Amino acid sequence: MDNSKFDFDMDPEFSKKFYENIDKILSEGDTSTQDLESEEFTIKSEDRIDDEIYNINASLAEQICNELDKREEDNQSKQSKFPSWFKVPAGILAGLLLLISFLGFTKPGNQLLLNLGVNIGGKVWAVWTNDLSSGISAAEDTDHLEEEDLNTDGPEADISKIEWPNNYGAGRKEEGVYNILLLGEEAIGSGSGRGRTDLMIIATLNTNTKEIKLTSLMRDLLVKIPGYKENKLNSVYEKDGIDLLYTTIAMNFDIHIDGTALVNFENFEKIIDELGGLELTLTRGEARYLNSTNYISNPAYRNVKEGTQLLNGNQVLGYSRIRKRATITGNNNDYGRTDRHRLILNAIFDKYKTTSKATLASIMFRLLPMVSTDIDNKNFELLLNSFIEMGTMEIQQLRLPADKTFTDTQKVRGMFVLIPDYNKNIEILHEFIFGDNVN
C-alpha cells in the first residue's frame, strides 16, 4: 500500500458497508441498547459497555501496532503529510471511526470523547478532506470581462490616483484569533485549471472575546496583486493559487489568513442536498427570476415561489448566484449576492446548531470528501478545541467594502470594479475581528 490516502470511492463494497455501520450506530443515538456489527462485536446492554470499549481498543491497538511494525522500515526514508498510522488498511480505519461514533453517542462514552475526540476529529479531517494545493501552474495575466462589465457604463479609473495601502508581510495576526477563508470556486469553463472564487468569506474565531464572525469579501473589489496587474479579488486564486490569495489579502487588508476550506459549485449543490435542503425566503422578484432563467440549471426545479420554503441544492445554488434582483435585505447586484451567501450560511447554522451529535457526525462523513483544504490535522484540532471552549453559537457579520467607503461607478480596463477606501476598510475590519476601539 502506498503513501497516498485510501480512495474510498474506488471501493464501493467497503463504502456501502462502512456507511451502513455508521448509520446504524448513529440512528440509535443515546439509547441504552445498541446492536453493532463491525469487527465482529455486539453491544447488547449498557452494563457491558466498559468491557466492550476495553476489548475493542485492545484489538484495534494490536492491529495498528502490527501494521506499523511491518511498515516501519519502508516509511523511514519517506515523508508524508500524515502520521504513518493514517496509512493503516481501510478495515482498521473503519473500525476506529465506528469506535469513535460509539464513544461519542452513548452516555458513558461522551466524557471519554470529550477528552479524546478533538484529537480523533483532527485525524478524520486529515484523512477525509482533499489537499488544496494541486500543482497547477500559474495562469496568464488576463482580464475576464463579464456581461455586466460590457453593459455597464462608467469612466476609466485613474489607478495612479488610488491611495493604496502600504502593507507588507503576512498581515496582522493576534494570539487567540483564527481567520479561516471560506471559498466557493466557479470552475465552469476552466478546464483542468483553477476557477474564480466568487464566494469569499473570512470566518473568525476570536477566543479572546468568545465571538464567531463572518466577513464577506466582495468579488469585484479592485486589489493590488503581487506580480500581476491590479484586478478583481475573485481573479487572484485563478491566477496562482491560495498562497497568492493569502498575500493579496494581507497586502490590501492587513489581515493574516490561517487556512482555507474550498468547495466548488458542483460540490456545493451536493452538500446542500446532503443537508436535506435549506429553508430560505425569496422575494417575488427572486422567485420570478429563478423560474425564468437558467440560474436553476435543472428546469424541473424552476418552481420556486415567493416566501419561505425548502430549496434543494440546485435551487440554492441558483439563488446564491443571483445578481440582478434585490434580496430580502433590500440589496441588489453583488451587494445582494454577498447577502445571500451569508443568509445561506445562517440557514445552515440555524438548522444544525440544535441537531444531535449523531446526525452531525453522519453528515460529516459524507461532506468532508467534497472539501479541499490546506488545514492539517493539528490546526483543525486547535480550531475545533477553540470552538468547543468558546461555547457560543451566535454569529456576527460584516461585508467589505463597508457602506459609504467605496466607489462603484468606474471601470479598470473595461472591468466594472469596486474601489474602496483601503485604510478606512482596514480600520473597520480590524475593529470587527480584533475588537479594536475606533475613534
Asked which of 108, 128, 148 is the last residue of a domain, the reply is: 128
**Helices (H), ranges, 294-421:** 313-320, 333-352, 357-367, 377-390
Position 94 scores a pLDDT of 44
Is there a single domain that holds both residue 26 and residue 107? Answer: yes
206 lies in which domain range? 160-264+373-434
Task: Judge whether 21 lies within some domain.
Answer: yes
**At 64, phi and psi to the nearest 5?**
-65, -45
Is there a single domain that holds both residue 250 and residue 308? Answer: no
Asked which of 128, 149, 174 is the last residue of a domain, the reply is: 128
As to burial, measured by CB atoms within 10 angstroms (0-12 exposed, 13-18 middle, 19+ buried), residue 150 is exposed
Is there a single domain that holds both residue 166 and residue 56? Answer: no
Task: Judge whether 358 lies within some domain.
Answer: no
Position 321 scores a pLDDT of 85
Is there a single domain that holds both residue 271 and residue 254? Answer: no
Q: Do the beta carbons of residue 277 and residue 316 sit within 8 Å?
A: yes
Is there a single domain that holds both residue 252 and residue 274? Answer: no
Is there a single domain that holds both residue 225 and residue 303? Answer: no
Residue pointed to by grid coordinates 450506530: 25
- Average pLDDT, consecutive stretches of 10 residues, N- to C-terminus, the chain (439 residues): 41 53 48 41 40 45 47 46 38 42 41 48 72 79 85 89 90 96 76 82 93 93 96 95 96 96 87 90 95 94 97 94 84 80 84 70 78 88 81 85 92 94 96 78
Position 177 scores a pLDDT of 96
CATH number of the domain that 317 lies in?
A: 3.40.630.190
Is there a single domain that holds both residue 394 and residue 412? Answer: yes
Is there a single domain that holds both residue 209 and residue 223? Answer: yes
Task: Judge whether 137 lies within some domain.
Answer: no
Q: What is the DSSP string of 53-117?
A: HHHHHHHHHHHHHHHHHHHHHHHTT---SS-GGGGS-HHHHHHHHHHHHHHHHSHHHHHHHHHHH
Is there a single domain that holds both residue 277 and residue 248? Answer: no
Is there a single domain that holds both residue 330 and residue 384? Answer: no
Rounded Cα distance between 231 and 63, Å, is: 54
| Spacing of C-alpha 261 from chain mean position | 4
Task: Judge whether 17 lies within some domain.
Answer: yes
Task: Judge whether 420 lies within some domain.
Answer: yes
Q: Do the beta carbons of residue 432 and residue 438 sit within 8 Å?
A: no
Is there a single domain that holds both residue 79 and residue 19? Answer: yes
Task: Judge whether 284 lies within some domain.
Answer: yes
Position 394 scores a pLDDT of 80
CATH number of the domain that 259 lies in?
A: 3.30.420.590
Task: Judge whether 422 lies within some domain.
Answer: yes
Q: Report the domain count for the chain.
A: 3
Task: Judge whether 25 lies within some domain.
Answer: yes
3 state SS of 239: helix
Residues linked to residue 401 through DSSP beta bridges, in sequence order: none
Position 192 scores a pLDDT of 57
Is there a single domain that holds both residue 325 and residue 422? Answer: no
Residues linked to residue 17 through DSSP beta bridges, in sequence order: none
